[in-house]
Structure 1
Amino acid sequence: MSSDPAAAAAAVQALDELTRQLRVECPWDREQDERSIVPHTLEEAYELADAANSGDDGKLLDELGDVLFQVHFLSLLLEERGGGSLAEVADHTRQKLIHRHPHIFGAVEVADAGEVLRNWDQIKQEEPGRERGIFGEVPENLPGPLYARKVQRRAATAGLDVDGVPYEVLETALQTLKAVDSDRDAAFTALGDLLFAAVDVARKLKVDPELSLRSSATRYRARIEAAEALAAAEGLTWATLTEEQKLQVYARSMLQNGA
């Protein structure tokens, strides 16, 4: 179901009015500032990412609403101290998108999506107030896989990239890790290089490394939980099983669930 522009504008206006009411009437909302709200914003962003990865449109709609509320609330905090408003946030974003899409709103021609990204990064570097340098404004507090991908993308934009998917780099990093043996410091470095290489492969394959890793962890968790449930159905207590018995139950569970 799609909405017409008037309906969308009315819904956004209603949410804005509700946000302002909560800010005045709710004791909890009145106490909040950017520092106390941003942790919730990050949490909602992760929940949105999970919803997008799940393929559940109902969940996606719900989480999009939560993130939209975060935008409204933070914009209201900005407005209260005269630093901006929701309208200015929206207009600033609109102008920024126009500026960074010269192949749509200007005379620039691009061959593919990769060139769009390279142009995007170059345009950002030239905007007033931006931190200069290849890695300017790359947040160091990003989750590891996303930080690595951001660094790799910036390096690629600067001309430091290779054609194709670097599987051989991943294989070399794995061999290096295998050769480390019991040297913990060397293992720390080698494992980091292996993970970095895996992120680079993901970047080349256009796969989000954070969501991919979370998806794998979720599948693994589900398999363990299924094995635990099978043990309980057979009258067994998971905690009292030996390691070999747990592996046997796990294998039976995998067969039953077609994994």
Structure 2
Amino acid sequence: MGADGPLGELRELTRRLRAECPWDREQTARTIVPHTVEEAYEVADAAFADDPAKLLDELGDLLFQVFFLSLLLEEQGEGDLDDVTRAVHDKLVRRHPHVFGDAEARTPARVRERWETIKTEQEGREGVFHDVPGSLPALLLARKTQRRAAAVGFDWPDLDGPLAKLREELDELLVEIERAGRPAPETEPDLRVQDELGDLLFSVVNVARFVNVDPELALRRATHRSRDRIELAERLAAEAGETWTELDLDGQERWYQRAKASKGRG
């Protein structure tokens, strides 16, 4: 990669920060990666907010993370940004023989199937769950695990299976909750309730996978939506001369429903 142009300028800026900034000098891959993960989520938020200006800004932050981590590799003599670039270039060519070779893959599903075959046959990855990072958020870990199982044929034939399993797991959870009762605040959960709740969440992820929904992003959107409605409900109450925190549950619910109707599903 040449030194000219915006990418070259960013590369030189990264080197200067590493050499001259006290904070940057002290960083390691382990201390930087939490920031990398945070930047990736901010990219996701910008994309789902349909905000191109914000997406452009957040992509820049994420790109800097790639440059910085590549520089750390270079300092260890384990590769540099050029090696990172060449490696991903070669990987993309290798995993797209339907574009760069004679293979055929006319659907997205067939492309994914070929990826899994290439990973095992050409890249030497072994086992059903090869390279599934345990550090993934739990919902994404569940989805990736399910995808790997599906890649070797262990999957429901259609959506009816996951939906039936979801209902079954909900029924089992309700039985255990009724048995255990509600625990006191700040105490350990009943283990059987915990296990059944985990099974229910795993089943929810399975349904999400079948309808092409990213469960992590879906939950984040739902959380943001709820937060926005509560904040609006608080403002509406204040405009009417009421204090949200002093209202009983019925009063809060009344304003929440007005906020919900005002904001709709957005």
RMSD of aligned alpha carbons? 1.8
Equivalent residue of 1:194, what SS? helix
Report 1:61-80 matches (<5 A).
61-80=56-75
Are residue 224 (structure 1) and residue 235 (structure 2) matched?
no
Aligned partner of 1:158 in structure 2 is: 152
Could you tell which deviates more after superposition, 47-56 or 117-126? 117-126
The structure 2 residue matched to 1:201, chosen from 203, 207, 215, is 207
> How far off its partner does 1:101 sit?
1.2
Which residue of 1 is the match for residue 187 of structure 2?
none
Consecutive unaligned residues of structure 2, counting only runs of 5 or more, are 181-189
Deviations 1:52-83 (A, max 9, x none): 11110111111110000000011011111211
Q: Does 1:146 align with 2:140?
A: yes
Question: Alpha-carbon deviation of 1:256?
Answer: 4.3
Report whether the alignment pairs 1:33 with 2:39. no
* Equivalent position to 2:167, from 164, 167, 171: 171
Higher mean displacement: 133-142 or 109-118: 109-118
Name the counterpart of 1:249: 255
Count matched residues.
Answer: 251
Quickly say closer, same or farther: Cα 1:65–1:99, change in 2 above 3 A.
Answer: same
Deviation at 1:257, TM superposition (A): 4.3
Q: Which residue identity lines up with residue 139 of structure 1 in the other structure?
A: P
Unmatched 5+ residue regions in structure 1? Answer: 1-5
What SS class does the counterpart of residue 236 from structure 1 fall into?
Answer: coil
TM-score, length basis structure 2:
0.88
- Please give the per-residue CA displacement for 1:40-60, whole angstroms capped at 9, x wherever unaligned: 111111111111111101111
2:87 aligns to what?
92
Q: Identity over aligned residues, as a percent?
A: 50
Letter in 2 for 1:175: D
Aligned equivalents of 2:76, 2:261: Cα separation in 1 = 61
> Could you list the per-position Cα deviations for residues 214-256 of structure 1 after superposition, in whole angstroms to 9, with x for gaps in the alignment?
0011101111111111121122222222222212222333344
Deviates more, 1:218-227 or 1:100-109: 100-109
SS at match of 1:174: helix
Find the counterpart in structure 2 of residue 123 from structure 1: 118
CA 1:152–1:256 in 2, change beyond 3 Å: closer, same or farther?
Answer: closer
**CA-to-aligned-CA distance 1:158-177 (integer Å, 9 cap, x gap):** 11012222322222222222
- TM-score (norm: length of structure 1): 0.91
